[in-house]
Amino acid sequence: MTTAAFTAQLSTALQGPYPAPEAAAIAALVTETLLGFSPLQRRMQGAAPVPAEVAARLPHIEARLLAHEPVQYVLGTAHFAGMDLEVSPATLIPRPETEELAQLIAQEQAGRPGLAVLDVGTGSGCLALAVAQALRPARTLAVDISEAALAVAHRNAARYAPGVEFQQLNILTTTPDIVPGTLDVLVSNPPYVRDSERAQMRANVLAWEPETALFVPDADPLLFYKRLAELATVLLKSGGVVYLEINEALGAETAALFPDVSFTAVRVVSDFFGRARFVRATKS
Residue 75, domain member (yes or no):
no
Q: Tell me what the mean pLDDT of segment 20-24 comes to.
A: 95
Residue 83, domain member (yes or no):
no
What pTM was estimated for this model as a whole? 0.93
Count of domains forming the chain? 2
Residue 188, domain member (yes or no):
yes
Residue 217, domain member (yes or no):
yes
Q: Tell me: do 194 and 233 sit in the same domain.
A: yes
Q: Tell me: do 224 and 257 sit in the same domain.
A: yes
Q: How many residues does the chain have?
A: 284
pLDDT, tens digit, 9 for 90 and up, residues 248-273: 999 999 999 999 999 999 999 999 99
On whether the CB atoms of residues 120 and 171 are closer than 8 A, the answer is yes
Q: Tell me: do 39 and 102 sit in the same domain.
A: no
The continuous run of DSSP H or E covering 266 comes out as strand 263-270
Q: Tell me: do 52 and 111 sit in the same domain.
A: no
Secondary structure class of 16 (helix, strand, coil): coil
Q: Tell me: do 134 and 274 sit in the same domain.
A: yes
Residue 179, domain member (yes or no):
yes
Q: Tell me: do 118 and 252 sit in the same domain.
A: yes
The residue range of the domain holding 228 is 89-283
Q: Which CATH number covers residue 146?
A: 3.40.50.150
CA-nearest of 82, 164, 159 to 118 is 164
Q: Exposed, middle or buried, 232 (CB in 10 Å: 0-12/13-18/19+)? A: buried
Q: Tell me: do 94 and 180 sit in the same domain.
A: yes
Give pLDDT, residue 16.
83
- When pLDDT is cut at 50, 70 and 90, the band that residue 92 belongs to is very high
Residue 82, domain member (yes or no):
no
Give pLDDT, residue 202.
82
Single-letter amino acid code for the residue at 253: E
Secondary structure class of 215 (helix, strand, coil): strand
